[in-house]
Structure 1
Amino acid sequence: MKKIAVDAMGGDNAPQAIVEGVNRALAEFKDIEIELYGDEAKIKDYLTATERVTIQHTDEKIDSDDEPAKAVRRKKKASMVVGAQAVKEKKVQALISAGNTGALLAAGLFVVGRIKGIDRPGLLSTLPTADGRGVDMLDLGANAENTAHHLHQYAVLGSFYAENVRSVVKPRVGLLNNGTESTKGDPIRKEAYSLLSADKTLNFIGNIEARELMNGVADVVVADGFTGNAVLKTMEGTGLSIMGVLKEAVKTGGFKAKLGAFFLKDSLYHLRDLMDYSAAGGAVLFGLKAPVVKCHGSSDAKSVYYTIKQVRTMLETDVVSQLTEVFTSKED
């Protein structure tokens, strides 16, 4: 049985969306147990599942405007922190939260702990691509600044995740840069290119530009945290804007627009689903001793369900233990 801790109080739509996502996951997967951390009375208002779920009552929660490191140190009874502590003590195997991203990163690093040999765990998410395969990208904001060595480690981490969790054979690894030529980029990118090219355990395909991300040119894309986070937010915003513009065009375009939308309905639904990143799950702080996964702050029940599904796959494939063995052997 896979035991997963869920912070019920994190995110814009907590606890309703969190608990409803848990209800759906428990109905779908018979091999998981969920421990919900948060206000018991509020959680019970939405909890319909009666088996394989328990509530650990907490009076505190970390708010979105709390300073991350201080909040983790001072709010010892916050739902997120108590959940992380349960992971550390092996009472549960993984932690999911839609709460304060910085605080979750701090809880992951300071409470759960990083795998020996990994300098800086990266925030990894599977982003949508036009071919439907998706692309694993990291770092998406765990670290604002990175060295070439960190980028090399992210390539190893991302490749390992793609192969073991998403079953991608020989994942193609690309380095996000301002041009495809090997001579492009700042000194960090140039040094990273050399490190990646020299690592024969990786299927490195070279530099890729941001405009190619959704075209399926790579299975893993490596970036520093600042750039990766900016790209992620741009993609999310662009997707939402496109769908918004299409809806407005249909609403205000008169009879012809509505008729055209009727005949294009299936194609438009396919476009919507293609750009829906929630089905890929949350962002994994990959490189820790256990899965710690961040749901989007505005996650609905569907997104929470898919994040639980993602964590279930991570536990099923035992990807963290395998990763630990790889880096432990490198240290030896």
Structure 2
Amino acid sequence: MRIGLDMMGGDYAPAEAVKGVRLFLDNAAPEVHLVLIGDEQALAPLISDARLDQSRYTVVHSSQVIGMNEHPTKALKEKPQSSISIGFHLLQNKKVDAFISAGNTGAMMVGAIYSIKLIPGVQRPTISTILPREDGSNGLLLDVGINADCKPENLVQFAILGSLYSQYIMGTATPRVGLLNIGEEEGKGNLLAQATYPLLKENALLNFIGNVEGRDIFKETVDVIVCEGFTGNVVLKMAESFHDVAVRRNIKDEYMDRFDHEQYGGTPVLGVAEPVIIGHGIARAEAFKNMIRTAQQMIESKLMDKIRESFVEVAKEN
């Protein structure tokens, strides 16, 4: 198993990326080999200080970096030797089994869609966020930002993708799906919610239980909550602020600690043909470690194959 990691992406790279690699390798199975993509001159002293086992990683040199504010498509075209461009080249050519970056999100999305391509039948890729729940378990919310405007069919596909991720990565046996809405009753909500509800209800691949409200987001009511990316991103940013407020006010609470994005690292781009994970721009060591672990889980569980099989079923029904 070979996992590619952009060592130059993120506000605190490459130092925090190297620390994250060390944290991961300290407890990782020996069959996991990391491909570290970045400037060899910048990486060499950091890797030396970290005393990484040389048998566990390979460095692939990149002479360019795509900045956080660069235009994604233009940057990928004009910087073929950037760490992100090289990462997608390796993934596209089966030199790595997954690719991770905390760099330019737009470039990661463009690379995922146009270099790796969507799984046949998937209309749009989606990204999700983990929802810490009061009982200690986690739920999933999607989409959280890349699909601000959606059609009902998109939300149904997000529900399928989220259910598969919840089942095979998060370990939920039969994920319960809810539609985020302003009321529990069928027929509530805007035109998108009203049109989506019956499609979710009749889909045989989903364990749909109905509408859920904002007050249910952090409860154990459902395992997967579906919405369009505009609403999802508002919820995500609000949830991230819980931890920030707790830190500023010196509030010590185990539940609030679970809103720290470092615990989850990044989010997979669900719907593309290979495992691609996008990290937070301010990712530090713990986040890098957890992104690598998520990639490992996606590969080991054969999640992409499960998604392909499900969308073959979707095509048959249509």
Q: TM class by shorter-chain length?
A: over 0.9
> How many angstroms apart in 2 are the aligned matches of 1:192 and 1:135?
21
Tell me the residue number matched to 2:123. Answer: 119
Larger displacement relative to structure 2 (88-97 or 205-214): 205-214
Structure 1 residue 133 and structure 2 residue 107: aligned? no
Q: TM-score, normalised by structure 1?
A: 0.90
CA-based RMSD:
1.5
Tell me the residue number matched to 1:318. Answer: 302
Match 1:161 to one of 165, 182, 186: 165
Structure 1 residue 308 and structure 2 residue 308: aligned? no
Structure 1 unpaired stretches of 5+: 248-267
> How many angstroms apart in 2 are the aligned matches of 1:329 and 1:199?
11
CA contact (8 A) 2:3 2:99 kept: yes
Structure 1 residue 285 and structure 2 residue 269: aligned? yes
> How many angstroms apart in 2 are the aligned matches of 1:116 and 1:171?
23
Tell me the residue number matched to 2:222. Answer: 218
Q: TM-score, normalised by structure 2?
A: 0.93
Structure 1 residue 22 and structure 2 residue 6: aligned? no
CA contact (8 A) 1:13 1:300 kept: yes
Structure 1 residue 186 and structure 2 residue 190: aligned? yes
> How many angstroms apart in 1 are the aligned matches of 2:182 and 2:79?
42
Larger displacement relative to structure 2 (234-243 or 150-159): 234-243
> Aligned letter for 1:315?
I
Query: Structure 1 residues 271 and 136, CA, compared in 2 at 3 Å: closer, same or farther?
Result: closer
> 1:21-60, aligned counterparts within 5 Å?
21-29=20-28, 30-47=30-47, 48-49=51-52, 50-60=54-64
1:170 CA displacement? 0.9
Tell me the residue number matched to 1:256. Answer: none
Tell me the residue number matched to 1:207. Answer: 211
> How many angstroms apart in 2 are the aligned matches of 1:230 and 1:45?
40
Alpha-carbon displacement from aligned partner over 1:87-131 (angstroms, at most 9, x marks no partner): 111110001100111111111101111101000010123222222
Which has the greater radius of gyration?
A: 1
Larger displacement relative to structure 2 (310-319 or 322-331): 322-331
Tell me the residue number matched to 1:90. Answer: 94
CA contact (8 A) 1:243 1:272 kept: no
Tell me the residue number matched to 2:241. Answer: 237
Alpha-carbon displacement from aligned partner over 1:245-293 (angstroms, at most 9, x marks no partner): 235xxxxxxxxxxxxxxxxxxxx35234333343234111001111100
> How many angstroms apart in 2 are the aligned matches of 1:330 and 1:156?
10
> How many angstroms apart in 1 are the aligned matches of 2:256 and 2:141?
21
Structure 1 residue 276 and structure 2 residue 229: aligned? no
> How many angstroms apart in 1 are the aligned matches of 2:85 and 2:280?
18
CA contact (8 A) 1:130 1:274 kept: no
> How many angstroms apart in 1 are the aligned matches of 2:253 and 2:197?
39
Larger displacement relative to structure 2 (73-82 or 300-309): 73-82
> How many angstroms apart in 1 are the aligned matches of 2:248 and 2:219?
22
Tell me the residue number matched to 1:252. Answer: none
SS in 2 for 1:157: helix
CA contact (8 A) 2:126 2:147 kept: yes
> How many angstroms apart in 2 are the aligned matches of 1:158 and 1:278?
21
CA contact (8 A) 2:132 2:258 kept: yes
CA contact (8 A) 2:129 2:236 kept: no
CA contact (8 A) 1:128 1:277 kept: no
SS in 1 for 2:46: coil
SS in 1 for 2:217: helix
Structure 2 unpaired stretches of 5+: none
> How many angstroms apart in 1 are the aligned matches of 2:186 and 2:77?
44
Aligned length: 311
